[in-house]
Chains A and B, each alone.
Chain A
Amino acid sequence: MRASLRTIISLAAFVPMAAAGSEQDQIAKVCKPADAEDCIVREFKHTLEASKIRGRIVYKNYCVLCHGETGMGDGRAAKVHTPKPANLVASKAPPEYIDLIVRKGGEGVGRYRGMPPWGDQLTDEQIADVKNYLVALRRP
């Protein structure tokens, strides 16, 4: 029972990765570079690529104010916050933590209250999208 559960979990982790490769090929076949983003969001809406594109839109609408255009924590409202907004490019937080702090806000996870709770404002899809965008934004 326990071993089979582990198998299912490892399979579940493996399948999306295996699918991602073929998705890239599919996207490259169908979408022309000129309108690649529109095409990906339209034709491949369930892929990670589409999620990251939608996530960038969420980010530019809501997060950019404090975290800045490039995610460095230098948005126009950064000046009224101490401590400063997090540098998301340098973040090493696990994706589940991003999900939690986005939904509950800084205060909700015992950190600085400057980060608002977005659980009421954003849909589950928007939160998943912005999480995928943020993970992709990171630089080692």
Chain B
Amino acid sequence: MNAVFKTFALASFLVMFAAGAHAGETVVSQKNKDFSQKSLKIKVGDSIAFRNDDPFFHNVFSLSDAASFDLGSYAQGQSKSVTFKKAGTVEIECSIHPNMKMVVEVQ
């Protein structure tokens, strides 16, 4: 009985943990030389997948103190993901299209 309960508790914990990790990913599309969202609020540890929905290359990078990275350039249909580990304001840009910008508030 006790063993069954322990197994159940462990299973519930794993399911919750997996669900929690899954809920922390937001998909942002890159379409018509723009990000599908201009601003986004997420929590520390959450990630964003940037999906290229244009028939040409996009890039994703940030030079902000809270997160600085370059995800490289990638073609239509491809997606690159980044996890935000620090709280703060992160400005996301595309090096190929200087007008593409969005702001992520990591709380």
Check A66 against B95 for contact (C-beta < 8 Å): yes
Is chain B's binding surface mostly helix, strand, loop or mixed? Answer: strand
Say yes or no: A80-B57 contact (C-beta < 8 A), given A105-B73, A116-B96. Answer: no
Taking CB atoms, residues of chain B closer than 8 Å to A113 are 72-73
Check A62 against B63 for contact (C-beta < 8 Å): no
| A61 located at the interface, meaning its Cβ lies under 8 Å from any Cβ of chain B in the complex | yes
Closest beta carbon of chain B to A75's beta carbon, Å: 10
Check B57 against A114 for contact (C-beta < 8 Å): no
Check B68 against A80 for contact (C-beta < 8 Å): yes
Map CB proximity to A onto B64-107 as digits: 1 under 8 Å, 0 otherwise: 00001110110000000000000000000001111000000000
Closest beta carbon of chain A to B86's beta carbon, Å: 15
Taking CB atoms, residues of chain B closer than 8 Å to A44 are none
Give the contacts of A78-120 with B (CB-CB under 8 A): 79-81, 105, 107, 113-114, 116-118, 120
Number of interface residues of A (CB under 8 A): 18
Which bracket fits the contact residues of B?
10 to 19
Residue of A nearest to B68 (CB): A80
| B56 located at the interface, meaning its Cβ lies under 8 Å from any Cβ of chain A in the complex | yes
Taking CB atoms, residues of chain A closer than 8 Å to B97 are 121
Cα–Cα, bound, A62→B96 (Å)? 7
Cα–Cα, bound, A57→B12 (Å)? 59
Taking CB atoms, residues of chain B closer than 8 Å to A48 are none
Check A81 against B70 for contact (C-beta < 8 Å): yes
Check B68 against A79 for contact (C-beta < 8 Å): yes
Check A117 against B98 for contact (C-beta < 8 Å): no
Cα–Cα, bound, A120→B58 (Å)? 10
Cα–Cα, bound, A85→B68 (Å)? 16
Cβ-neighbour of A121 out of B61, B70, B72, B96 (below 8 A): B96
- Which residues of A does B touch, CB under 8 Å? 61-62, 65-66, 76-77, 79-81, 105, 107, 113-114, 116-118, 120-121
11 residue pairs of the A-B complex, CB under 8 angstroms, read A77-B61, A77-B95, A79-B68, A80-B61, A80-B68, A80-B69, A80-B70, A113-B72, A117-B57, A117-B73, A120-B56
